[in-house]
Amino acid sequence: MTAVPLALAGASAKTKTPVLQRPLASYYLVLASTGALLALGLVMVFSASSVRAYATYENSYAIALRQAIFMAVGLPCMSAASRTPIRVWRMLAYPLLLTAIGLLVLVLVPGVGRGVDGATRWIPLPGGFNIQPSELGKLALALWGADLLVRKKKLLGDWKHLFVPLVPVACLVCLLVMLEPDMGTTLATISVVVALLWVVGTPLRYFGVFLAALVSLAALLAVTEPYRMARLLSFLDPFADAQGAGYQAVQGLYALSSGGWFGLGLGASREKWAGGLPNAHTDFVFAIIGEELGLLGTLSVLVLFGTLTYAGVRIAKRSTDPFARLAASAVTAWLAAQSLINIGAVVGMVPITGIPLPLVSFGGSALIPTLVAIGMLLSFARAEPGAAQALGARRRRKAPATPITSRTTARGTGRPASRRPAARKG
């Protein structure tokens, strides 16, 4: 008989598991994509805001430093959220929802909310910071909706229990957001409800009626407000009023088209200067990425968001806890929808709604809740089958080895033999 080479036998015995089939694949995909988007966002916020920061604060780094502070606050929050057990997230659902609704009402009180460009979305805080209640509302609705549907699991065959009280409460949250007004955040909030109803298994006939009602309501809201109608018309042909309603869309397209394949180079944007693209470091930071980093930069952003979305869906599919499955689906839908709305507005595929690009655009009131939501995804990823054992094995590999002394210990005493008491003579 021919002997099998030992090298081949060892190789077959140590066949590695494919990367995407490992227990911690979701965990590392979320971490990697989030870290890359945060790093890119900080660099691009600095580049896009440097001219405005110098003109306003006489310091080109002023806005970027604020973004760095927001990240310094948000990252520990994400780390703490990643270690929060699933049962604690369920306990937080109702308090967070009540807090979010209370803040959404408070921001509409005259003298409390801070208005910018005709919208009242922020509550001022000491130190020049602001809180945006609608961002907390998305996370709160995802947690509360997931907990509600899990509690009513045996009753969901009846459409009344399926939609009530989830849809009425979601309508209340969306109404308060629309009163600010904030159409973009409303659409992102609606995506949370759509994801919850889809994942929980809503029959297609009910789901179709629900989507038709949403589309009809969105069309009604668009035509009843003059500024929304103007945005819709300018979206269809922004160059028809390039110096008016279509100005921002046109400047964004100019920025993207001038970038070419590899861009003009970091810091070389022309649209960030006075008279160029408005909100270059917030809603339209994607256009500056296209101008300075070119098509390669914008495609990299799309790949990173695609990776984050894939990881979120993977976490939802692999979760054995029903609440984690629903909450992960809702948060993933929110991040994906908000990214698509922002990028779609910049490239001219959807009307401009004034919504930031998650993890990339400037703004702490959006960044910190987003990082907490991503921390929750990490928490669910740590609870996937086999993930806890893999994390434990990794910690054991990293733990320092116990030092081995050259002296033997006395049997039964645990003391070195050289220190053993001498026997008495006689």
Domain locations in the chain?
Answer: 22-109+128-385
Spacing of C-alpha 164 from chain mean position:
27
Q: What is the 3-state secondary structure of the chain?
A: CCCCCHHHHHHHHCCCCCHHHCCCHHHHHHHHHHHHHHHHHHHHHHHHHHHHHHHHHCCCCHHHHHHHHHHHHHHHHHHHHHCCCHHHHHHHHHHHHHHHHHHHHHCCCCCCCEEECCEEEEEECHHHCEECHHHHHHHHHHHHHHHHHHHCHHHCCCHHHHHCCHHHHHHHHHHHHHCCCCHHHHHHHHHHHHHHHHHCCCCHHHHHHHHHHHHHHHHHHHHHCHHHHHHHHHHHCHHHHCCCCCHHHHHHHHHHHHHCCCCCCCCCCCCCCCCCCCCCCCCCHHHHHHHHHHHHHHHHHHHHHHHHHHHHHHHHHHCCCHHHHHHHHHHHHHHHHHHHHHHHHHCCCCCCCCCCCCCCCCCHHHHHHHHHHHHHHHHHHHCCCCHHHHHHHHHHHHCCCCCCCCCCECCCCCCEHHHCCCCCCC
pLDDT of residue 425: 47
| pLDDT < 50 stretches in the chain | 1-2, 4, 6-13, 406-414, 416-420, 423-426
Could you give phi then psi for residue 357, rounded to 5 degrees?
Answer: -85, 120
pLDDT in tens, 295-339: 999 999 999 999 999 999 999 999 999 999 999 999 999 999 999
Q: C-alpha angle 321/323/326, rounded to 5°? A: 110
For residue 107, the model assigns a pLDDT of: 94
Of 378, 371, 393, which is closest to residue 314 (Cα–Cα)? 378
How deeply is 147 buried, as exposed, middle or buried, from its count of CB atoms within 10 A (0-12, 13-18, 19+)?
buried
Which among 377, 376, 334 is positioned nearest to 356, based on CA atoms?
Answer: 334
Contact 264, 32 (CB under 8 A): no
Q: What's the whole-model pTM score?
A: 0.88
Q: What is the pLDDT of residue 93?
A: 96
Query: pLDDT digits over 120-156, tens only?
Result: 888 998 877 789 999 999 999 999 999 999 999 999 8
